[in-house]
Structures are given as structure tokens and as C-alpha cells.
């Protein structure tokens, strides 16, 4: 999948999961004092999920995050270079092991960081693994055992940059519009 599809899927996953658990009463969304409007809070959740969805591709030299610039500087380039040195693309960062490590990191964050921010990050990250699992190459979910996992048969899988990926992207836009409508009602 392309970076824009991953980012959109991450935002949709984070917002969708937060709305689901909030609607079920499993999680209360306490308003952040910096984001005084609930709508801003939902926007921030979607944006955090979008950025988190790009994290697994730090193992790819073409990734959006690696090449992201702030005032002409690529702040994540050194980290991405280290990750590229240690791991192959769609290897460790696309595995359950990485999800467990990220979960431990998120759980160890100071208690002042609300649970919904952590959930948004994890949802966005997981969305990347799910969407890459829809491609012909799949992901190495059980790293380091080397077995590529695909959610669809190869003939039905979504090729990166294809017309089918564009349709999938449009479907995600529809999902986002529906979720934004739900967020406004909540």
C-alpha cells in the first residue's frame, strides 16, 4: 500500500476504534485541556492514528516518515537508517513482536498521557499491518520465522499503487466521512 493509503487507514482505524469503545462504555474520552472541543479531540485522534500507521515503514528508505522534513531537516532519518540496517522491509516492524514492543512502550508512558492517545497510536500501527497483509507480498507477522502472511489469496490481493488500491482508498474516505458524522453526534 502507498503511504497515503496507510495514513488514511490509520486515521480511520484510530477514530473508529475510539468511537466503538466509547459507544460501548469501555472508555471515557476525557477532554484534553489543550483541545477544549470534542471535535478537535477526535481530529487529533485521527491524525495520531494516521502518523502511527506510517511507523512500520521506517524499515523502507522510501517511507514518508523517513523523508519527512521540518525546516529542511529529516528528524527521523537517523532512526530510519538504523532500522534499515537492522531489519528488512516488512520484517520486524510488521510483526506481532513489534506490536507487543509498542504496546509495552505505550503502557510504560507516564499516567498523564490519556489512554485514548495510546489506543490511537496502537490502532494506527495495527492498521498498517492489516493493510499490508492485503497485498501480494503480505507481512512477516510471526517474525523471525520468515513466513509471509497474506489475508487474501495472491490473485485477489491488492497491488500497491493499483486501481484497486485507489478504490480501497475511496472506500476508506467513505468510512472516514461516516466516522466523522458519528463523532459529531457523540
Question: What pLDDT, on the 0 to 100 scale, is given for residue 54?
Answer: 95
Please give the pLDDT value at position 2: 92
Handedness of CA 57, 49, 2, 147 (dihedral sign): positive
Burial class (CB in 10 A: 0-12, 13-18, 19+), 110: exposed
Give the phi and the psi of residue 155 in degrees, each rounded to 5.
Answer: -70, -20
- Which residue's entry shows cell 485521527? 46
Distance CA 150, CA 132 (A): 8
> Which residue ranges make up each domain of the chain?
3-185
Read off the pTM. 0.88
d(CA 121, CA 107): 12
The Cα diameter of the chain in Å comes to 49
Cβ-defined contacts of 16-22 (< 8 Å, 24+): 16/123, 16/175, 16/179, 17/119, 17/120, 17/123, 18/42, 18/45, 18/116, 18/119, 18/120, 18/123, 19/179, 19/182, 19/183, 19/186, 21/119, 22/186
pLDDT at residue 37, rounded to an integer:
62
Taking the chain (186 residues) in runs of 10, the rounded mean pLDDT of each run is: 95 93 72 62 92 92 81 86 84 94 93 84 97 95 90 94 96 93 72
User: Do the beta carbons of residue 81 and residue 75 sit within 8 Å?
Assistant: no
Q: Supply the angle between the helices 38-52 and 115-132 in degrees, to the nearest 10.
A: 40
Amino acid at each position: 500500500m502507498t503511504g497515503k493509503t496507510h495514513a488514511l487507514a490509520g486515521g480511520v482505524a484510530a477514530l473508529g476504534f475510539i468511537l466503538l469503545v466509547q459507544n460501548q462504555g469501555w472508555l471515557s474520552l476525557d477532554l484534553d485541556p489543550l483541545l477544549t472541543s470534542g471535535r478537535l479531540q477526535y481530529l487529533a485522534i485521527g491524525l495520531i492514528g494516521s502518523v502511527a500507521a506510517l511507523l512500520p515503514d521506517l524499515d523502507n528508505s522510501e517511507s514518508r516518515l523517513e523523508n519527512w522534513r521540518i525546516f529542511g531537516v529529516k528528524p527521523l532519518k537517523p532512526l530510519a537508517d538504523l532500522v534499515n540496517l537492522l531489519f528488512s522491509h516488512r520484517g520486524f516492524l510488521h510483526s506481532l513482536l513489534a506490536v507487543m514492543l509498542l504496546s509495552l512502550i505505550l503502557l510504560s508512558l507516564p499516567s498523564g498521557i490519556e489512554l485514548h492517545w495510546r489506543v490511537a497510536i496502537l490502532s494506527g500501527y495495527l492498521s498498517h499491518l492489516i493493510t499490508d497483509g492485503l497485498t501480494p507480498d503480505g507481512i512477516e507477522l510471526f517474525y523471525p520465522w520468515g513466513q509471509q502472511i497474506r489475508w487474501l489469496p495472491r490473485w485477489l490481493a491488492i497491488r500497491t499503487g493499483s486501481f484497486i488500491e485507489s478504490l480501497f482508498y475511496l472506500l476508506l474516505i467513505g468510512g472516514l466521512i461516516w466516522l466523522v458524522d458519528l463523532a459529531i453526534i457523540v
